[in-house]
Structure 1
Amino acid sequence: MNVKLCVLTVGVLFFTGQSINAQTVKRDTTTKVKQIEEVVLVGVQKKKKEEITQAVSVVGGEELTRMSASSTGITNMLQGKMSGLQVSTNSGKPGEPGSIRIRGAVNVSSVLGASDPLFVVDGIYMTQRQFNAIPASDIESVTELKDAASTAVYGARAANGVIVVTTKRGKSGKPSIVYDTRFGFAFKPKDKNFTMMNTSQKIQYENEMSGLGINPNPVYTSEEAALLLANDHDWSKDILRNSTIQYHNLSIRGGSETNSYFVSLGYDSDSGILQELDGFKRYNARFNFDQKITDKLKMGFDFGIVNTKTQDQRFSYNALSPFYSIYTLNPYETIYDSDGSFNPTTNSINPIDLRRNELTTDWRTRFNAQISGTYEFFKGLTFKSTFGNIYDLRKNKYVVKKGSDIAAVYGYPDGSIRDTRSDFWTYVFNNRLDFSKSFGQHKIGAVAAFEYSQEEFGSLSGTKRVMLGPDVTDIGSAATPFAITGATTSTRYVSMLGVVDYNYAGRYLLSGSIRRDGNSRLGANNKYGNFWSASIAWNLAKESFFNVPFFNDIKFRYSIGTTGNVASLADYQNLISIVSGDYGADPTSGPSNFVGNKDLKWESKTSQNLGVDISMFKNRIKLTTEVFKDDRKDFLYAIPSTQYEGGGYLFSSITNAGNIEIKGLESELNVEIIKSADFDWSVRGNISMLKYQVKSLYGTATQLNLDGYTFMSIGMEPTTFKMVKSAGVDTQTGEALYYRPDGSITNVYSSSDAQFLNGKSTLPNAYGGFGTTFRYKGFDLNADFSFQTGGYNYNIMAQNLVDFSAYNQNLSTAAFNYWKNPGDTNVLPAPTVNGFETTDAFLQKTDFIRFRSLELGYTFDKKILGNLPLSSVRVYGSGQNLALWTKFTGDPEVAVASETQVNNGTFIPGAISLYNYPTTRTFLLGLQVNF
């Protein structure tokens, strides 16, 4: 794409989607025209759009900046922005990253984020949490690498796809100064598809249950009912609030012919919706500098620091969760007893007591620095050496205050303090040669690289009890040592890479890569793996015989290759190890309950991709479509209850457990419907459609129990649900009915009747997003939506909300809809003391359409500002998570429902739904000033 760029006194250059736009904010009387080619970062190379043979998607930093107020994490902002990319919110807690998958990546692991892609930021490998902490205002572009041709250059880490991020750097010219600020609030939206009972309704329900013998308590008298009605209140108003949000960012960008610089300073905060807690604060600074030392030697330096603080209660499902309290405590239960003490409530725990007296505070400080040098031997051959590192320091303090009710419930009334410190250090040392040569219509390029990276982690945690006082939270002030633990781990990678490209006249394109990786986490017999890719492209529109003027490009692409993955593998699971502890006053040691596997090898993926890129009418219509097939081989899985060397003890062991096939079709469309000096209107959309199948499992296994709800079974989708099938309600007796595996119906529940529900898994078969942008003179409007369909979730929360065995807790008004008379249909079963069994009656589809964001702004340009020392001023208002269309009871997007999912079992995003921190609705007003 060619763009006319005016040489401006002040100007802005930014990415939007897959395009580069030159925005003029001040007109000069004379302008020069410069041709700019659209350049995309494809793995370790930058390529012109017309030279790309790989499957990639791009989102510009400007787009992310518009979304940054909706979430303090970048991963959640990417939702619905790129084909192939699925993002599920782990929780609505400020700063919390999401679960992210590229092309349906499936990993079976207790490691949270095992299915996440590889994150590469300016050449440095990051965890998702580190990536998530980068402010959107510092990002130039985000590129999603999807097929083997684009990901194989990252070899052993890339089977889940790759997210490559380029941060902003300086540009030659006068300093460009931008100040952006916004303020707003967020709140919990109204519950979707259910309403909780008020006191009057709950009294009625309890009386009905008493009449049926379910509630052993007598029917409330009118006097008792009047007392309860006087106490009626909404627990959500006692626990939640509207959060306050603010954001400030100042950046300076400039340079000369020999150097350039970029500086940014930022602060943002989101108090969160839990009362009295300080949800999230972030301070950040970034500086980079590029210097041309000689005509052949260039140096670059980057430094960044991010400091975050979060404060919260335990918010995953259990009686300690404030969100559990909102839905289970009765509206007539008081906060305080008559003597002023906390009412223990039906949960035996008071949520206000918890909020004030059981607190977790987390501080994280991340430093990243990088230095690079580039030497040009001659035109077309350069050598670049880069050393980059990240240092993460974390401090976490958990306090149960002395004298609180919750401390007494826990059994240590004098309180407890746990102080945890950990640090994470990773560095990457990369050396590469780049070669490029053109002759006639031929162009050859090559990259050769050697890379070494290492990760070091250490932690120390101490717990003491018997605090000096409820507000003295220094661990040194507590009297009684209780426990101390620590850990140290190390991981090393060594890699060699080669890439070759050939381009003939922009019509015929070839590319190939090979990479060899070694990793310390793997078994002694499989330390190294080889990964490769090959791709080819043909641009029909550049052929002389093709003379259709409204086509700018018709490029066909094919790629094939291999990548690897060890993301779901923890350190030292390839080794036989011992654990140590104490028994009385003496130290002890013994074998761990984990058996090392010396034959453990890479989980690998072989990918094939066929794509077409079409541009028409001077690039005003752009369509990209891909079909692909991924064969994931030797996925990693922890086998429980394994006997080791004839002993009587049972151990767990990681093994390569089987193969999974994923097929898909994805497409992106961008259309500029109107394009004129005063009025622009464009629409965009993307969709991904996938099919999954488990092809084989380890040994003679035909199924794997993942988390008690979802399974892997040969011939079915991964994470397919297995449970007893509900046959509804007997219309004459009101009894719950169940299907046996042979298709017969019974009124006797038996867990042995559980069966695979083929076609019902956690994985959606289609997802994507769409949006539109308007601009009329100074006004601009942007709207974005996201959607998914085809996935399922076992909605335990929806079941609990109507379960008559929980009559002593609050329920939804839908609980009244139970069987009462012969002939009743579309009702819950007749109430029984045992309540509901685990069946597919509450297995709900996670289909939804979400109105994700809307922003309306107006820009005052230089003509309006006159002699003020400003080039432009933009005011805007925005809203996020404005509407949700779904039949799901609650929010279908939350990926993590229970802390036990992560801590004690295999983590399957979206398998179950309970009482998590909800996704909030946000409204903001903002101001952007360009000097």
Structure 2
Amino acid sequence: MNVKLCVLSVGALFFLGQTAFAQTTKKDTAKTKVIDEIVVVGVQKKKREEITQAVSVVGGDELTRMSASSTGITNMLQGKMSGLQVSTNSGKPGEPGSIRIRGAVNVSATIGASDPLFVVDGVYMTQRQFNSIPASDIESVTELKDAASTAQYGSRASNGVMVITTKRGKSGKPAITYDTRFGFAYKPKDVNFTMMNTAQKIQFENEMSGVGVNPNPVYTPAEAAELMAQDHDWSKDILRNSSIQYHNLSVRGGSDTNSYYASLGYDTDSGILQELDGFKRYSGRFNFDQKVSDKMKLAFDFGVTNVKTQDQRYSYNALSPFYSLYTLNSYEPIYNSNGSFNPTTNSINPVDLRRNEVTTDWRTRLTGQVSGTYEFFKGLTFKSSFGGIYDVRKNKYIVRKGSEIAKVYGTPDGSIRDTRSDYWSYVFNNRLDFTKSFGQHKISAVAMFEYNQEDFGSLSGTKRVMLGPDVTDVGSASTPFAVTGNTTSTRFVSLLGIIDYNYAGRYLLSGSIRRDGNSRLGTNQKYGNFWSASAAWNVAKESFFDVPFFNDIKFRYSIGTTGNVSALLDYQNLISVVSGDYGTDPTSGPSNFVGNNDLKWERKESQNLGVDVVMWNNRIKLTAEVFKDNRKDFLYAIGNTPFTGGGYLMSSVTNAGNIEIKGLESELNVDIIRSKDFDWSVRGNISMLKYNVKSLYGSNTQLSLDGTTFMRVGDEPTIFKMVKSAGVDPTNGDALYYKLDGSVTNVYNSSDAQFLPGKSTLPSAYGGFGTTFRYKGFDLNADFSFQTGGYSYNIMAQNLSDFSAYNQNLSTDAFNYWKKPGDTNVLPKPNVNGLQSTDAFLQKTDFVRLRSVEIGYTFDKKFLGESLPVNSIRVYGSGQNLALWTNYTGDPEIALASETQANGAFIPGSISLYNYPNTRTFLMGVQVNF
């Protein structure tokens, strides 16, 4: 359901697929007529038929059905919109995903550098701030894709824009809704591999002793029996079924002169890690619209959310509970015979870690906006608004006194780190809107001035020697260790002009120009101009076109420019000074970063050609787009930059080159059956993209991104460069490798690494499909998502098959090694060096996922009777992440390799490590409408 803002002319409203209809007073649904669809297109609202831009819309009710697991709204959007690629960073409750529009590629150590711009009711937010809003408060989400729509946001829009409107009041008696659901989630069974049990691991270690890899002797029967007696499942010691609950109470109503909306919400997801309090959120929202006079209106918005999360690390080592889950042997006990924690083969016990090294995070976000609109005369209005977000964060990290992990860290008396930070961003916006119709002509225009400022400050203090393991106030620890902090400020100033022309709904023209200034850029490049032009022709409205089953055929074309500075941190345009402590004395000096006075906007030049087709009384809706984006002067951090003042090797940010992206995307929605008691609709979307690095800065033809992926002129961004495996010699079991000249050798040499054209992290196609079914009171919704064409270096699969790691647990795939002449499709003959880094474990990330299924039944007023003050009760059950079809070893939907990327640059999906897994969720819920 992609439409929520609609004008209802007669009858009752119901939704089918992505189309909204008004039911007439007659029961003959063949005579239903389409009501006007109002879509938020950037800073404007337009009827669907007036749109010349490439946009996609998802309604809030659809997101509410997906909100069960508290994993963030962006994750719920996967497969819902053409052009939108969403990858789940992890299954951690509340964690945002990696999100790209039309293949936006930014190479940066800043996580989220490729994210689109998020605009919530006119206020700019980060993805994490947007995700803190409960889905039940959202009216619609609009994806802006081409320059005609994104250029209205100028310097921050080259990654695309997500425009979100929250629910507001409407005239009529108060409508009260209470929605609640309860359920659980768990880690699904591993895909395409199985871990060894104790008997298998004993057998494998004995085999490795036999071939000389394991220096330990073969286990005696008595030793094997002793280990078998200690067999247990580490997953039962580390994981649990999470507990989920959700409550939301909302009321909306109003009169001819005012309207209001208010909601209160609470939801929690304990997460699948034992003893930790994974996610809790309290939320409230209130808005009020008042018509002061015939010419003046006022509006007030306020929202608050409080989120608490508790977590362990999930880095690529034994500090991650998920690393321990896979690498600890099932015969290793949790406790020693004296009751102390067994350090395990990883030297760290995951249960000790969970109890004694804990990070707790509290975030409180306040959002607010006041606005006033004055109509000078019909067709000319002035609106002034001031909105902002204040984000306060408290983070506490504790290593408890006396714990084994404290001894491992060399701080046996424990340590406490307390971090406080605050973020304040506000937007001051003033605009004039003009609309004039005469005959079949309609002209509208917008003139706008906007100022945006973002301020951030943090202070962190660490002290050691705790009074006791449970005395966790930083002031109670006796030994100061470190104090750090920083303050940053960013300012944007903008002027915007938009003009639209509409002739009889047949010929549509639109243009915009925006000038932006930004404090992050170099002294010589503070300001930039961004523009767009678009046109549309609705053939179906021409007098010569008389094909009854076509409702609309609209051709669209747009061209324009946008910019981006999201990959740039504050003050990277300046040479800066850092300070710190050396012993008891303060010190200062130049940072390891060189400022760049010529640092300028990353720019994107875009062209888009689209067609919208509506057929058979709006039963079929088809949208198709072809586009080309040229991303020029993308931002990149360069290491080893000589410092002009001395011999230091430093780093700097520069505009590093140009990337071309071409694509085809389409959305299709079909109402197969549409009647009084029976509705059935299907929907689907697909995006197909091609990438090409056109040039790089200076004379460079390649850039290393994270050591595994590169940019190279003529290839896709994030192309892999690895030694190519030539398989296994069937005569002797040696691992074989391709040299650069194409010959084959059994000697591994990392200098033989070569580029692998066509193999990058970026999928060539992705999308989703689903269906909605209703029979009288019953309803069913199902959604799938898919992607194909991308690759990931599956380090986890390699590690779990590597016979040289015989001391840790492995997958049963490790048994499949060369044993005798003639063996094929096997791992090499075991040796002490283990498996080398080659493309043998570079795997396709193709998948199809059953994202969600929901089944419900609605008891209407006729069934409930007039005696109950209830209009309807809907009972439903839902499941998420119900099935996964893939040839990948594990879960291919990998965005973040681990808690921290291995080599600085953030390349979503480049490597697969031991991440917090995607969970499978089941819920039961009740929605009551009063």
Same fold (TM > 0.5): yes
Q: Which residue number corresponds to residue 813 of structure 2?
A: 814
Relative to structure 1, is the Cα distance of residues 585 and 167 closer, same or farther in structure 2, using a 3 angstrom cutoff? same
- The question of 1:333 aligning with 2:320 is answered no
AA aligned opposite 2:719: T
Shift in Å at residue 71 of structure 1?
3.5
Contact 1:615–1:623 under 8 Å retained in 2: yes
Q: Which residue number corresponds to residue 132 of structure 2?
A: 133
AA aligned opposite 2:589: G
Map of 1:740-751 to 2, 5 A cutoff?
740-751=739-750
Q: Which residue number corresponds to residue 876 of structure 1?
A: 876
AA aligned opposite 1:368: T
- Matched residues, number: 922
Contact 1:14–1:61 under 8 Å retained in 2: no
Shift in Å at residue 240 of structure 1?
0.3
Q: Which residue number corresponds to residue 732 of structure 2?
A: 733
Contact 2:22–2:34 under 8 Å retained in 1: no
Q: Which residue number corresponds to residue 529 of structure 1?
A: 528
AA aligned opposite 1:541: A
Deviation sequence 1:758-783 (CA, Å, 0-9, x none): 00000000000000000000000000
Contact 1:870–1:929 under 8 Å retained in 2: yes
Shift in Å at residue 647 of structure 1?
2.2
Q: Which residue number corresponds to residue 289 of structure 1?
A: 288
Structure 2 distance, partners of 1:114, 1:196, is 36
Structure 2 distance, partners of 1:478, 1:70, is 38
AA aligned opposite 1:123: G
Structure 2 distance, partners of 1:122, 1:775, is 33
Contact 1:55–1:611 under 8 Å retained in 2: yes
Q: For structure 1, which runs of at least 5 residues remain unmatched after alignment?
A: none
Deviation sequence 1:701-739 (CA, Å, 0-9, x none): 110000000000000000000010000000001000000
Structure 2 distance, partners of 1:863, 1:701, is 73
Structure 2 distance, partners of 1:740, 1:622, is 53
Deviation sequence 1:19-38 (CA, Å, 0-9, x none): 335689x999xxxx998411
Structure 1 distance, partners of 2:692, 2:226, is 59
- The question of 1:831 aligning with 2:827 is answered no
Shift in Å at residue 585 of structure 1?
1.9
Relative to structure 1, is the Cα distance of residues 606 and 6 closer, same or farther in structure 2, using a 3 angstrom cutoff? closer
Structure 1 distance, partners of 2:47, 2:901, is 44
AA aligned opposite 1:588: T
Deviation sequence 1:637-666 (CA, Å, 0-9, x none): 000001021621100000000000000000
SS in 2 for 1:277: coil
AA aligned opposite 1:295: D
Q: Which residue number corresponds to residue 37 of structure 1?
A: 36
Structure 1 distance, partners of 2:6, 2:451, is 39
Relative to structure 1, is the Cα distance of residues 23 and 404 closer, same or farther in structure 2, using a 3 angstrom cutoff? farther
Deviation sequence 1:51-92 (CA, Å, 0-9, x none): 000000000001001111144310000000000000011111
Structure 1 distance, partners of 2:165, 2:861, is 30
SS in 2 for 1:272: coil
- The question of 1:851 aligning with 2:850 is answered yes
Deviation sequence 1:890-919 (CA, Å, 0-9, x none): 0001211123317x5000000000100000
Structure 2 distance, partners of 1:234, 1:767, is 37
Map of 1:112-131 to 2, 5 A cutoff?
112-131=111-130
SS in 2 for 1:347: coil
Q: Return 613-622 or 316-325, whichever deviates more.
A: 316-325
Structure 2 distance, partners of 1:249, 1:204, is 54
Structure 1 distance, partners of 2:467, 2:441, is 78
Relative to structure 1, is the Cα distance of residues 362 and 27 closer, same or farther in structure 2, using a 3 angstrom cutoff? farther
AA aligned opposite 1:754: A
Q: For structure 2, which runs of at least 5 residues remain unmatched after alignment?
A: none
Deviation sequence 1:492-529 (CA, Å, 0-9, x none): 00000000000000000000000000000000000000
SS in 1 for 2:383: strand
- The question of 1:415 aligning with 2:392 is answered no
- The question of 1:494 aligning with 2:484 is answered no
Structure 1 distance, partners of 2:407, 2:897, is 27
Structure 1 distance, partners of 2:428, 2:23, is 37
Deviation sequence 1:261-302 (CA, Å, 0-9, x none): 000000000000000101000000000000000110100000
Structure 2 distance, partners of 1:477, 1:4, is 61
Relative to structure 1, is the Cα distance of residues 874 and 900 closer, same or farther in structure 2, using a 3 angstrom cutoff? closer
Contact 1:4–1:34 under 8 Å retained in 2: no
Q: Which residue number corresponds to residue 894 of structure 1?
A: 894
Contact 2:18–2:669 under 8 Å retained in 1: no
Q: Which residue number corresponds to residue 191 of structure 1?
A: 190
AA aligned opposite 1:190: K
AA aligned opposite 1:530: N
Map of 1:292-441 to 2, 5 A cutoff?
292-441=291-440
Deviation sequence 1:175-210 (CA, Å, 0-9, x none): 000000000000000000000000000000000000
Q: Which residue number corresponds to residue 515 of structure 1?
A: 514
Structure 1 distance, partners of 2:361, 2:117, is 25
- The question of 1:104 aligning with 2:103 is answered yes
Deviation sequence 1:142-191 (CA, Å, 0-9, x none): 00000000000000000000000010000000000000000000000000
Structure 1 distance, partners of 2:370, 2:917, is 41
Contact 1:17–1:58 under 8 Å retained in 2: no
Q: Which residue number corresponds to residue 644 of structure 2?
A: 645
AA aligned opposite 2:575: I
Structure 2 distance, partners of 1:36, 1:792, is 45
Map of 1:785-800 to 2, 5 A cutoff?
785-800=784-799
SS in 2 for 1:346: coil
Structure 1 distance, partners of 2:69, 2:20, is 25
Q: Which residue number corresponds to residue 632 of structure 1?
A: 631
AA aligned opposite 2:567: S
Q: Which residue number corresponds to residue 221 of structure 2?
A: 222
Structure 2 distance, partners of 1:537, 1:27, is 35
Contact 1:5–1:34 under 8 Å retained in 2: no
Shift in Å at residue 843 of structure 1?
0.1
Q: Which residue number corresponds to residue 451 of structure 2?
A: 452
Contact 1:4–1:22 under 8 Å retained in 2: no
Map of 1:501-580 to 2, 5 A cutoff?
501-580=500-579
Deviation sequence 1:838-867 (CA, Å, 0-9, x none): 100000000000000000000000110002
Structure 2 distance, partners of 1:138, 1:6, is 25
Relative to structure 1, is the Cα distance of residues 472 and 50 closer, same or farther in structure 2, using a 3 angstrom cutoff? same
Deviation sequence 1:90-135 (CA, Å, 0-9, x none): 1110000000000000000000000000000000000000001110
Q: Return 515-524 or 891-900, whichever deviates more.
A: 891-900
Structure 2 distance, partners of 1:455, 1:22, is 44
Q: Which residue number corresponds to residue 802 of structure 1?
A: 801
SS in 2 for 1:325: helix
Map of 1:230-249 to 2, 5 A cutoff?
230-249=229-248
Structure 2 distance, partners of 1:23, 1:403, is 70
Relative to structure 1, is the Cα distance of residues 229 and 35 closer, same or farther in structure 2, using a 3 angstrom cutoff? closer
SS in 2 for 1:899: coil
Contact 1:519–1:528 under 8 Å retained in 2: yes
Q: Which residue number corresponds to residue 263 of structure 1?
A: 262
Relative to structure 1, is the Cα distance of residues 427 and 472 closer, same or farther in structure 2, using a 3 angstrom cutoff? same
Percent identity over the alignment is 81
Relative to structure 1, is the Cα distance of residues 15 and 394 closer, same or farther in structure 2, using a 3 angstrom cutoff? farther
Structure 2 distance, partners of 1:450, 1:835, is 63
Relative to structure 1, is the Cα distance of residues 515 and 118 closer, same or farther in structure 2, using a 3 angstrom cutoff? same
SS in 1 for 2:523: coil
Contact 1:402–1:467 under 8 Å retained in 2: yes
AA aligned opposite 2:271: G
Structure 2 distance, partners of 1:27, 1:175, is 27
AA aligned opposite 1:49: R
Deviation sequence 1:581-632 (CA, Å, 0-9, x none): 1222221111110000000000000000000000000111000000000000
Contact 1:16–1:62 under 8 Å retained in 2: no
Shift in Å at residue 15 of structure 1?
7.1
AA aligned opposite 2:608: N
SS in 2 for 1:901: coil
Q: Which residue number corresponds to residue 669 of structure 2?
A: 670
AA aligned opposite 1:909: P
Deviation sequence 1:660-715 (CA, Å, 0-9, x none): 00000000000000000000000000000000000000001110000000000000
